[in-house]
Amino acid sequence: MTRANIITLWNICFWLISIRLWLEWLYVRSAWSLLLAMMWDFLDWHVARYFKQESNIWKQLDSLADFLCFWIAPVCILYGFLWQEITFLFWIVSLWFVCCSARRLGRYNVSIEQNNKKVEYFEWIPTTANAIRVSIILFFSMHNEFVIIACMACMWGCMIATFKVKKPDISRIIKKT
């Protein structure tokens, strides 16, 4: 078991904590747990590259962790937060959001396999950013369904857009210290 695999498993643990808090109606704490999962997701990526531990099992674990933490959990948290105000439009946007997330990850994984090299850019906005968006919605306690639907529409719109975002390179910072 590599360092990157262990960190990715911690990411999945924070997803489970987030879901447990969601089931206990503690939505803001659940969102904090998602932010911690996002931190572990960021860290496992850098550890895998820094220690050259990018194995196939790590890639699969990382994809699973992304699916759980940044597709399923945000929709569940928003559902719990708005359970009395759910409309058909919310469900349509939620389904579209999950489909766009899946398509984004699929395109990203295929591009890595086809190029077989280190990826310097995020292609499209990473699904990890969903943890930030959902947390912002909950931290500001926006019970306005229109605002939440608009935020979710922006999430999926950014995930299927065709622009690139340069990945941060913390390995240079680590080497300097």
Residues of the chain with pLDDT under 50: none
The CATH code belonging to domain 3-176 is: 1.20.120.1760
Q: Where are the domains of the chain?
A: 3-176
Residue 121, classed as helix, strand or coil, is strand
CA dist., res. 5 & res. 9, Å (int): 6
What pLDDT is attached to residue 8? 92
The type of residue at 37 is A
Please name the helix (run of DSSP H) or strand (run of DSSP E) that holds residue 40, with its range, or none: helix 27-50
CA neighbor of 71 nearest in space, from 27, 134, 22, 140: 134
pLDDT tens-digit profile of 85-97? 667 777 777 777 7
What pLDDT is attached to residue 114? 67
Q: How far is CA 88 from CA 26, 67, 76, in A?
A: 24, 24, 16
Largest CA distance in the chain: 53
pTM listed for this prediction: 0.70
pLDDT tens-digit profile of 45-70? 889 888 988 888 888 888 888 888 88
